[in-house]
Amino acid sequence: MPRPILYYPKGTAGADAIFSRFRKLEVRPYSKENLEEIAFFGPEILVANTRLEVNSETFRRFPSVKIFATVSSGNDHVNFSDLKNEGRVFLNSPGCNAGSVAEYCWAAVSYFLPIEEIGKRSVGIVGYGNTGKAFASILKSEGIEYAYHDPYVKENSVSLSEIYSRGIVSFHVPLTVDGPYPTKGMFDAEDVRKLAPKTLVLNTSRGEIWGRGALEESLQREDLLKVIDVFYPEPPRGELLQRLVSSKNSVFTPHIAGYSQKGRLTGTYRLAEKLCILYKDDPLPPMEEFLISDSEWKTKTFLEKEDTLLREAWKNGDWEYFERRRNHYPVRMDGV
């Protein structure tokens, strides 16, 4: 009997080694520019990044695919109503990179502020899910005061206005457009104008969390410290780029906050675990077997280099660098 075919993007962290353990699946890599061609081969499982919208149109393009999957935690690219109507399945890895993003945020705070100054401030966390809690855990271990806003975690949650009054503000919410507490555009230009001078603001969630005017307003305020890993639109283009390139007191990175070695490998590993269960395959060995022990890229020191590389690419008109960096990212060691 032929085995079900799984296609995954070349360059997916750890996929070559982890997916090779499957015995019940035939595994094939694909280049992202050749995504449309693989429909001809009748894959049952398609692993793709969150740029691929999962909806009825995608089902038409890939009629054989029963399981759409990503090795990230994101799901805002999925139309769950279409998924249910068509009887398809979506798999992701919730919380896989929470620790990685939290370490990125601590590295960012430490990059701008000495520990003595951090200790004098209080951190406001917007969203207290997996990532917000992971960041809070680091802050607690360092003796830094923090508060959070999350309408779904009502105990001890404070108002957004109180969060925005803190000396450090960090966003950790999913992108939602429906429900009682939509997050799209929740932080707008007026909110930026209310921030006190020298506030450090971080966005590692989704670019759309900030309204269209929020980023532009923050760039006008050179008295603010800014760390931005996500943009809207993404990657950023046009006139906005010139303002980003020349922005002071800022660090920009190409949507890689969660891309530490463990952050990326955990996503692949958790997806593989789910597929092992679904297809009754052999259990995987411990994830530690797939880790490497050293790399020149360290979470605690990489931020300035990332920012420099991205700005140089923009200055040189290399608009594709943003996506290229995401898709071909070096191993970045974990640890604060």
Which residues form the catalytic set? 206, 234, 255
CB 94 within 8 A of CB 119: no
Q: Do 299 and 260 touch, CB atoms closer than 8 A?
A: yes
By three-state DSSP, how is residue 278 classified? helix
C-alpha closest to that of 312 among 322, 302, 303: 322
Structure tokens at 309: 């590389």
Give the residue from 334, 332, 308, 333 showing the smallest Cα distance to 321: 308
* Burial profile 211-242: b = 16 or more Cβ within 10 angstroms, e = fewer: bebbbebbbebeebbbbbbbbbebbbeeeebe
User: What are 148's strand-pairing partners?
Assistant: 125
Q: How far is CA 70 from the centre of its chain?
A: 12
Selection from 300, 333, 314 nearest residue 105 by Cα: 300
Answer yes or no: are the C-beta atoms of 72 and 50 closer than 8 Å.
Answer: yes
